[in-house]
Structure 1
Amino acid sequence: MNLVKEHAAFDVETIRKDFPILKRKINGKPLVYFDNAATSQTPQQVIDVIVDYYSNYNANIHRGVHSLSQEATDAYEQSRQKIQKHFNAAHSHEIIFTSGTTHGINLVASGFSSLLKVGDEILVSALEHHSNIVPWQMLCERTGAELKVIPMNEAGELILSEFDALLNENTKLVFVNHISNALGTINPIEYIIEKAHAYGAAVLVDGAQSCPHLKPDVQKLNVDFYVCSAHKICGPTGIGMLYGKEKWLKALPPYQGGGEMIAEVTFEKTSYADLPHKFEAGTPNVCGGIAFGAALDYMNAIGFNAIAKYEQELLSYATGKLSEIEGMKIYGTAKEKTSVISFNVGNIHPYDIGTILDKMGIAVRTGHHCAQPIMDYYQIPGTIRASFMFYNTKEEIDVFIAALKKAIMMLS
């Protein structure tokens, strides 16, 4: 059921009214939410879809002949089709519902356990989140394949000449995020995909950070696998998507066994269901899947071009204001980046600044952001990360800057 109405034009004040949580006060101060790279907030339109599901047609799907089950099944599969259309996948069965980005990556890593051998090589970038590092290390331990790293430079950009040098006939898989969660760098995935394919390697792109800010076209990209999480895209937690080319999804074995993913079960042998159900064992997050589609409806109603343009204005404005602060060090100065700023001030520990900002109602993220190799590269324990979405404002940035200056003064 589509409860999302289209916005007539991009008006941030009108958009902000869609988000109930933005009316909250934290420690007596109006909430300024700049932790969007971790989790975006959820508009009332999506909340209404969730409430509508549990109020009116909560049921298990695919197996029931009764009306509630059929209604839930229709809404769930319609959401899969919305996701297919949004990412321009060739087929709806190339969209696999997962619990999130991490689940999708692990599903692919598990599948390739039977396809790799000693002597094979897989490449991962230096800019990855731990969820796009650890599963591949585990895969190498299981198969004897070797993990190699595409290095980065001081600006937080991948060194493409080094990537070119790493590629060879033994390269089977390449993994890279579309956008770095820690630095905001937009990686040249078109180049990476084309070069990898020239050597016959498959490519998985972690789109967790890109999908809130742009609209990937998986067919145009010619990517083999693309993963993302709904909770980064104004949707609920606990639901995500794995896109895989049909040929790869057919080649990979199931990730989990159980109900739904079977065609026929006997104690002698089990045959598996067709795509996408082959990879969707057990009762799914029905409501989450439906709400995922509603979240995409909401963001498409605003328009990704308008979102990108406005968020770039926020990024430029905040970068300028932060750069005026004495002792400021911004990490990640790539020419192509999205609305994420990681920084430190002098020798002040990021956690201390984050704690004081919270007292003033401002939510930022501090630490290594599940990207510890990046912090090791810069030889720092972590950063303060401010990440913006289309419902944030320049006025909020001004409040943030004033609070940051106060925190620095208190800690100096």
Structure 2
Amino acid sequence: MSETRLAPLTAAADWPGITGADGTRWHYLDTGATAQKPQAVIDAVTRAIGVDYATVHRGVYTRSAEMTLAFEAARRKVAGLIGANEGEIVFTRGATEAINLVAQTWGLANLKAGDRVLLSTLEHHSNIVPWQLLRERTGIEIDVCPLTADGRIDLDAAERILTPAHKLVAFGHVSNVLGSVLDAPRAVALAHGVGAKILIDGCQAVPRLALDMKALDVDFYVFSGHKLYGPTGIGALYAKADILDAMPPWQGGGAMIDRVTFERTTFAPAPQRFEAGTPAIVEAIGLGVAVDYVQAIGLPAIHAHETALVRTTREALRSFNAVRLFGPEDAAGIVSFTLEGVHPHDLGTILDEEGVAIRAGHHCAQPLMDHLGVPATARASFGIYSDESDVAALVRGIERTLRIFG
């Protein structure tokens, strides 16, 4: 195997979920599902929910004001990470809620029967089901863009499919199964070329790719904090300021209002208009610290590191005749495969006995599984804490599995 090391990117002590007190290592290869948390994030969450805790945007006392500043600082950090303005960042529970928010606000206000939405074959269920629910309410039509032979969204096909009837394109930036990376600038240009808006699901992109919303000119961009080494229950919707300002509120309650009477309510400006109720204060602060952590390492370094691990893994797996690999050679942080004669769930169970954690299943992408002609795949996904020892452990586990099923 090629030489691949994390140092000096990060220290083992930063990852208590991976390195045990006795120094043993858990070979965690399920970062695509959720990332482990660095000690800095754990410490920040502990402080925020403990000695620093108070509500935000409401109290006139000092600690509340300080927590409000920390909460809004997290919004600025998220905006800075993706090249946006803080007023264009709406905190959500995650990418799923962000897509539903767009569907149920912008979608209901702007789409009607006969309008068309273009998705792709590789989309996560979270970027399929909200549009199907909107179809049931409005009568819109959904088209599906096929994939290239190596598992990328086929933008040549998208160009042929798109018409002025298409009002929205919704694509994943990095496939959570194949690791294939969308040519996002071209996708944006194609959508805008027919007058459509475009939403990009960035869950697998934000933890590893440098982004600039202004340069990209995307209309909507969503991601989840827990895949970015932050807490669960927090994510973000980016939307262009003029689009966000024109969108009606989604949920009603405290914090998103200007003035309430029984006769009429007026609403706060964006992004507060979309953050009804007490927000995920602790989670947002933890996400802000995760952003700091990632930026201190540098996204180009993270991407290069994970790319090397993907290359090493694919080379190693190709030595097994029983392995079928999916996705492109330059996949971003993810390797999906099947083992002939072994269900991915069985492989996952045996690997677990070897101290290796992978994802096995349809990965919330059943239409893609149908396209690949398999019920499920095994997926190894990498993070900034992954190293060559994880790949070696995966290979040993596969060798043991083949002996058991041989």
Which TM bucket (shorter chain)? over 0.9
Q: 1:71-102: per-residue Cα shift (whole Å, max 9, x none)? A: 1100001111111111111x211100000010
Supply the AA of the counterpart residue of 1:22.
Answer: I
**By how many angstroms is 1:13 displaced?**
7.8
**Residue among 5, 12, 20 paired with 1:16:** 12
CA shift, 1:134, in A, is: 0.3
1:170-189 → structure 2 map (5 Å cutoff): 170-189=165-184
Is residue 255 of structure 2 the alignment partner of residue 255 of structure 1? no
- How many residues align? The count is 401
Unaligned residue ranges in structure 2 (runs of 5+): none
Give the corresponding residue for 2:360: 366
Whichever residue aligns with residue 396 of structure 1, its letter is D
Q: 1:41 maps to what in 2?
A: 36
Q: Deviations over 1:248-307 (max 9, x none)?
A: 111211110000011011111110101111000000000111111100000111111111
> Residue in 2 aligned with 1:77?
72
**Counterpart in 2 of 1:4?**
none
Change (3 A) 1:402 1:49: same
The CA distance in 2 between the partners of 1:356 and 1:220, in whole Å, is: 46
Tell me whether 1:220 sits opposite 2:220 in the alignment: no
Report the CA distance between 1:153 and its aligned residue. 3.1
The aligned residue for residue 374 of structure 2 is: 380
1:167 aligns with 2:142: no
Per the alignment, do residues 209 and 347 of structure 1 end up closer, same or farther by CA in structure 2, a change over 3 Å counting?
Answer: same
Give the SS at the match of 1:56: coil
> What's the CA shift for 1:56?
2.0
Query: CA-to-partner distance for each residue in 1:140-167, whole Å, 9 max, x for gaps?
Result: 1111110000111332112222101111
Q: 1:204 aligns with which of 199, 205, 224?
A: 199
Of 228, 233, 236, which aligns to 1:241?
236
1:100 has 2:105 as partner: no
1:318–1:336 Cα change, 3 Å: closer
Pairs within 5 Å for 1:5-404: 11=7, 14-24=10-20, 30-89=25-84, 91-111=85-105, 112-332=107-327, 334=328, 336-404=330-398
- d(CA) in 2 for partners of 1:309, 1:162: 30
8 Å contact from structure 1 (residues 368, 382) kept in 2: yes
Q: Please report how far the alpha carbon of residue 227 of structure 1 lies from its aligned counterpart in structure 2 after TM superposition.
A: 0.5
Q: What's the % identity of the aligned pairs? A: 42
3-state SS of paired residue (1:176): strand
> Counterpart in 2 of 1:5?
none
Deviation by residue 1:211-240 (Cα, 9 ceiling, x = unmatched): 111121111110001100110011010000
For each residue in 1:31-67, what CA deviation from the matched residue of structure 2 results, as whole angstroms up to 9, or x when unmatched? 1000000000000011111111122221111011011
Are residues 171 and 57 of structure 1, via their aligned partners in 2, closer, same or farther at CA, if it must alter by over 3 Å? same
In the superposition, the TM-score normalised over structure 2's length comes to 0.96
Question: Are the structure 2 counterparts of residues 66 and 25 from structure 1 closer, same or farther at C-alpha, using a change threshold of 3 Å?
Answer: closer
Unmatched tracts of structure 1, length 5 or more: 1-8
Q: Deviations over 1:310-352 (max 9, x none)?
A: 11111111110011012110011x2542120110111211111
1:406 aligns with 2:388: no
> 1:29·1:361 contact (CA, 8 Å) conserved in 2?
no
Q: How far off its partner does 1:29 sit? A: 7.1
CA distance in structure 2 between the partners assigned to 1:339 and 1:319 by the alignment = 11
SS in 2 for 1:123: strand
Runs of 4+ with >6 A deviation = none
For residues 152 and 25 of structure 1, what CA distance do their matches in structure 2 show?
Answer: 45
Are the counterparts in 1 of residues 9 and 297 from structure 2 also a CA contact under 8 Å?
no
Structure 2 counterpart of 1:352, one-letter code: D
Measured in 1, the distance between the counterparts of 2:21 and 2:391 equals 17
Q: How many angstroms does 1:176 deviate by?
A: 0.3
